[in-house]
């Protein structure tokens, strides 16, 4: 299985940092908007209970959640009797137009993430948090970049959360055509490189992320902390010596997601409500 993943990611080695494993938006679909559902006008009844699934059990959450399991050839089943104990939440963007499109891409290329937060803030759960999703690596390229260091399996020790976000400004028109507000356009900095302007996050996505992080950190006793300084790859996190919430780029210089996510502020706001 590891060889398969390695092979999958090895194909991406020639890409620049601005590209992404999962970028599969074709010109045809960008033009036709086929993968963005318009914002829903139907409000969810307030009495409806939402939950995420952790080791087969329903854990309540105050955000809309849709369960959409990925097939078993996209992730690793945890077979031990004792539950998995993840120590990190790893945050990504999917470089896709919607959570639905993200699901199809992951299914096709046989990788995964536990959650994807759609454009309207709906949380899609693709994998039970007790199982290992294939979202963070390390890949062959990551191992090269951390030459001489013994990296743990980031996938085994973490839970993956993706923001649906096409990243490139040229896709703004697709969101607008589907009836969404324009996405915020931001510039950001990672490892001293300036990025952007690029597409940022919808406020509804940030709200859903906050609730998801709050629930997962409480469930797994993960501290509401991020690496410092936040805008840099962290050796401590890469070596598995950090417990908390990270961006993918905190683990490897090979990635830029989620540049511009105000993680420190988000965690501060969660602490104020718990």
In the complex, the residues that contact Zn ion under the rule CB under 5 A are 92, 248, 257
Return the SS3 of 143. Answer: helix
- Identity of the residue, 118 or 257, whose beta carbon is nearer to Zn ion in the bound complex: 257
Q: How many of the other CB atoms lie within 10 Å of CB of 13?
A: 11
Minimum separation from the CB atom of position 50 to Zn ion (A): 25
Q: In whole angstroms, how close is the CB of 153 to Zn ion at the nearest point?
A: 15
Give whichever of 64 and 154 is closer to Zn ion, judged by the CB atom.
154
Residue 23 or 178: which CB sits closer to Zn ion? 23
How far apart are alpha carbons 33 and 50 in whole angstroms?
Answer: 29
Six token digits for residue 73: 């050839």
**Nearest to Zn ion of 92, 141 (CB atom):** 92
Closer residue to Zn ion (CB): 128 or 257: 257
> Which residue matches tokens 């914002």?
39
By beta-carbon proximity to Zn ion, the closer residue of 21 and 131 is 21
Tell me whether the omega of the peptide bond preceding residue 53 falls within 30 degrees of 0, making it cis: no
CB of 139 to Zn ion, least distance (A): 11
In the bound complex, what is the minimum distance in angstroms from residue 103's beta carbon to Zn ion?
Answer: 16
- Residue 68, token pair as written in the block: 């959409």
Give the Cα-Cα-Cα angle 129, 92, 273 (nearest 5 degrees). Answer: 70
Contacts of 20 (CB under 8 A, 6+ apart): 93, 95, 167, 257
Per the CB < 8 A criterion, the answer to whether 19 and 28 are in contact is no
Contact 49, 64 (CB under 8 A): no
Q: Which is nearer to Zn ion, 35 or 248 (CB)?
A: 248
Whole-angstrom CA distances from 121 to 148, 201, 204, 251 are 41, 10, 5, 26
- The token pair at 128 is 């039970």
> Shortest distance, CB of residue 249 to Zn ion, whole angstroms?
8
- Give 251's DSSP letter: T
**DSSP code, position 206:** H
Closest distance of CB 21 from Zn ion, Å: 8
Q: CB 137 → Zn ion: shortest distance, Å?
A: 9
């Amino acid at each position: 299985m590891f060889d398969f993943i390695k092979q999958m990611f090895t194909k991406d080695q020639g890409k620049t940092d601005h590209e992404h494993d999962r970028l599969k938006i074709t010109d045809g679909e960008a033009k036709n908007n086929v993968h963005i559902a318009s914002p829903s006008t139907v409000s969810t009844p307030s009495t409806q209970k939402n939950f995420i699934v952790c080791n087969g059990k329903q854990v309540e959450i105050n955000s809309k959640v849709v369960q959409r399991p990925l097939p078993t050839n996209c992730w690793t089943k945890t077979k031990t009797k004792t539950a998995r104990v993840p120590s990190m939440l790893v945050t990504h963007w999917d470089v896709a137009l919607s959570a639905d499109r993200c699901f199809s891409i992951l299914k096709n290329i046989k990788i995964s993430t536990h959650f994807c937060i759609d454009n309207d803030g709906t949380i899609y759960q693709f994998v039970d948090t007790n199982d290992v999703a294939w979202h963070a690596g390390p890949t062959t390229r990551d191992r090269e970049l951390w030459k001489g260091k013994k990296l743990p399996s980031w996938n085994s020790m973490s839970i993956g959360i993706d923001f649906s976000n096409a990243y490139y400004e040229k896709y703004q028109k697709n969101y607008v055509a589907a009836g969404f507000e324009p996405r915020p356009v931001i510039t950001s900095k990672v490892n001293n490189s300036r990025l952007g302007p690029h597409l940022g996050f919808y406020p509804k996505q940030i709200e859903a992320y906050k609730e998801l992080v709050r629930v997962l950190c409480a469930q797994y006793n993960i501290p509401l902390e991020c690496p410092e300084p936040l805008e840099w790859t962290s050796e401590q996190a890469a070596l598995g010596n950090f417990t908390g919430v990270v961006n993918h780029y905190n683990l490897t210089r090979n990635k830029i997601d989620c540049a511009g996510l105000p993680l420190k502020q988000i965690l501060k706001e969660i602490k104020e409500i718990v």
